[in-house]
């Protein structure tokens, strides 16, 4: 399986040369790692960024890294050196505040304590700008996920981190992971605390389905997979209603919990929509620490970018861009094959996506030896969501949700002879449910007419 991380290009300003480390999540079993290219406009005219491709050490390992160089003054300092030791001391989010309560006979004794509130357990994932660890919250007594900024010498990384905190902290929705706390650890690194979703990524689920895992195919049939997709659409519907585009919808950023809950993660490169309709929305007007991404800058994961996102049309991005990415995810979830083949470089992957023809009903990927063929009505549903021209896609996530409900209920549009027969069978079944008596009478008369005709033919034949 391939773990795809977010990268950006063309150049952005940064402080010092650094390479993005390889992602390794506990729930993922990766042999190849693709890091996405990401760029903002330069804060200094002297800053440059070069994107290089480095081959991994293993024969099946390919790692794409972004190296940054710049001549901006003041770089190389840590966040602690920049803000000073006083402002980066332990915060109330870093130390426990609740005392221990002990009983001695009939007495209750309150014992103050002073310990680190969030005790790290294990690494869950690592990316170019941060790492996520499972931790134990000693105050509340629960597991949490703590995301820590790795490079606090890069002002742009700090700004993006702050934007992610403010963005996710302002989004309150069941399908979006909530933030509990923010602080600075003993090493002077920024961190924020999220709800720990106990489960696995959609990428891990797809990998096991593609390998033919019988238990996963039993658990995640087509209907269950559509439930997961509906959860993703609901998260996007809410974010878009708040004037935000996620820009990095992919299986690695979608968590599926123990009870089937779907959570869209990693809002680090979420961006406000610039359309006139969205300018007045609350979240689109949030004070952002990072600078605006200029037109021409490509940010996201190439395999899942919409055509307008891949061409750097930042000012034109709206919810339909995220919907395209979501349908790319759905294609992979249904067929167990990536919609766009991963190429050696991000630019080659972008070009392959541009040359990818629109999904057809007879696409051979719809037939997989590990599962039944993808239903024809879902193939047409995919085709509508993967249109290259955004005006030909669904207008919004709500329309996609409503269309999906109709498709699952058998009320889909007739697009070919197969959908004609399936739609009529559904209508006939509903008629029989509404009029069982009349249906039985009609069936009986039809059977008698058939038997009478058969008897007449036999008599004619023998005599």
Pairing of strands 32-34, 2-4: parallel
Task: Look at residue 190 in the predicted model and tell me its pLDDT.
Answer: 93
Q: Which residues are designated catalytic?
A: 248
Task: Look at residue 265 in the predicted model and tell me its pLDDT.
Answer: 92
State in words which class domain 200-417 has. mainly alpha
Query: In whole angstroms, what is the distance from residue 193 CA to residue 381 CA?
Result: 38
Residue found by looking up tokens 């969205």 in the block: 278
Query: In whole angstroms, what is the distance from residue 338 CA to residue 352 CA?
Result: 12
Helix, strand or coil, per DSSP, at residue 45: coil
Beta strands, E only, 26-104: 32-34, 48-55, 62-69, 100-104
Task: Look at residue 439 in the predicted model and tell me its pLDDT.
Answer: 62
Please give the model's pTM, rounded to 2 decimal places.
0.73
* Cα 368-369-370 angle, rounded to 5 deg: 90
Query: In whole angstroms, what is the distance from residue 274 CA to residue 288 CA?
Result: 14
Task: Look at residue 7 in the predicted model and tell me its pLDDT.
Answer: 55
Q: Along the chain (463 residues), what's the average pLDDT of each consecutive run of 10 residues?
A: 55 40 38 43 40 36 35 47 45 71 89 88 86 93 94 86 91 93 89 94 96 96 97 97 95 94 92 65 50 60 92 87 97 96 87 82 88 92 93 95 92 70 64 68 76 77 73
Query: In whole angstroms, what is the distance from residue 375 CA to residue 409 CA?
Result: 13
Check: CB of residue 337 under 8 Å from CB of residue 303.
no
427: annotated binding-site residue? no
Domain ranges of the chain: 79-195, 200-417, 419-462
Task: Look at residue 426 in the predicted model and tell me its pLDDT.
Answer: 66
Task: Look at residue 417 in the predicted model and tell me its pLDDT.
Answer: 72
Reported as a single tens digit per residue, the pLDDT across 424-446 is 666 666 656 676 777 677 677 77
**Selection from 239, 305, 316 nearest residue 274 by Cα:** 316
Reported as a single tens digit per residue, the pLDDT across 23-32 is 333 333 334 4
The count of C-alpha atoms lying within 13 angstroms of the C-alpha of 148, restricted to the half-sphere facing its C-beta, is: 20
Query: In whole angstroms, what is the distance from residue 273 CA to residue 242 CA?
Result: 9
Q: Is it true that 79-195 and 200-417 share their CATH fold?
A: no
The CATH number of 79-195 is 3.30.200.20
């Amino acid at each position: 399986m391939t773990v795809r991380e977010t990268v950006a290009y063309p150049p952005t300003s940064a402080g010092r040369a650094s390479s993005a480390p390889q992602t390794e999540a506990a729930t993922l079993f990766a042999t190849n790692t693709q890091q996405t290219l990401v760029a903002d406009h330069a804060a200094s005219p002297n800053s440059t960024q070069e994107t290089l491709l480095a081959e991994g050490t293993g024969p099946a390992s390919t790692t794409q890294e972004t190296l940054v160089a710049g001549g901006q003054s003041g770089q190389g300092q840590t966040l602690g050196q920049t803000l000073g030791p006083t402002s980066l001391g332990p915060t109330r989010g870093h130390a426990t505040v609740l005392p221990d309560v002990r009983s001695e006979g009939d007495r209750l004794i309150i014992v103050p304590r002073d310990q680190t509130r969030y005790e790290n357990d294990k690494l869950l994932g690592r990316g170019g700008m941060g790492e996520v660890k499972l931790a134990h919250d000693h105050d509340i007594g629960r597991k949490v996920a703590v995301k820590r900024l790795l490079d606090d010498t890069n002002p742009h990384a700090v700004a993006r981190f702050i934007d992610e905190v403010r963005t996710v902290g302002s989004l309150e929705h069941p399908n979006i992971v909530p933030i509990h706390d923010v602080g600075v650890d003993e090493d002077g690194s920024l961190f924020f605390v999220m709800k720990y979703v106990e489960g696995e990524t959609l990428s891990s689920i797809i990998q096991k389905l593609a390998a033919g895992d019988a238990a996963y195919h039993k658990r995640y049939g087509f209907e269950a997979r559509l439930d997961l997709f509906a959860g993703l659409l609901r998260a996007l519907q809410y974010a878009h209603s708040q004037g935000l585009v996620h820009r990095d919808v992919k299986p690695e950023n979608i968590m599926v919990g123990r009870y089937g809950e779907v959570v869209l993660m990693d809002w680090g490169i979420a961006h406000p929509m610039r359309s006139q309709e969205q300018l007045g929305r609350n979240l689109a007007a949030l004070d952002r620490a990072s600078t605006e991404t200029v037109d021409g800058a490509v940010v996201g994961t190439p395999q899942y970018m919409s055509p307008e996102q891949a061409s750097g049309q930042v000012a034109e991005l709206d919810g339909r861009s995220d919907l395209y990415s979501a349908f790319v995810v759905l294609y992979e979830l249904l067929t167990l094959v990536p919609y766009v083949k991963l190429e050696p470089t991000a630019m080659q992957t972008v070009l392959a996506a541009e040359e990818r023809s629109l999904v057809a009903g007879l696409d051979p990927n719809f037939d997989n030896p590990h599962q039944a063929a993808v239903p024809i009505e879902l193939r047409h549903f995919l085709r509508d969501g993967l249109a290259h021209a955004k005006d030909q896609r669904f207008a919004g996530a709500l329309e996609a949700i409503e269309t999906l409900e109709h498709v699952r209920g058998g009320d889909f549009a007739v697009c070919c002879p197969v959908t004609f027969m399936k739609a009529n069978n559904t209508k006939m079944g509903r008629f029989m449910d509404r009029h069982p008596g009349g249906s039985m009478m009609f069936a009986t008369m039809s059977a008698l007419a058939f038997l009478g005709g058969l008897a007449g033919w036999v008599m004619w034949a023998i005599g």
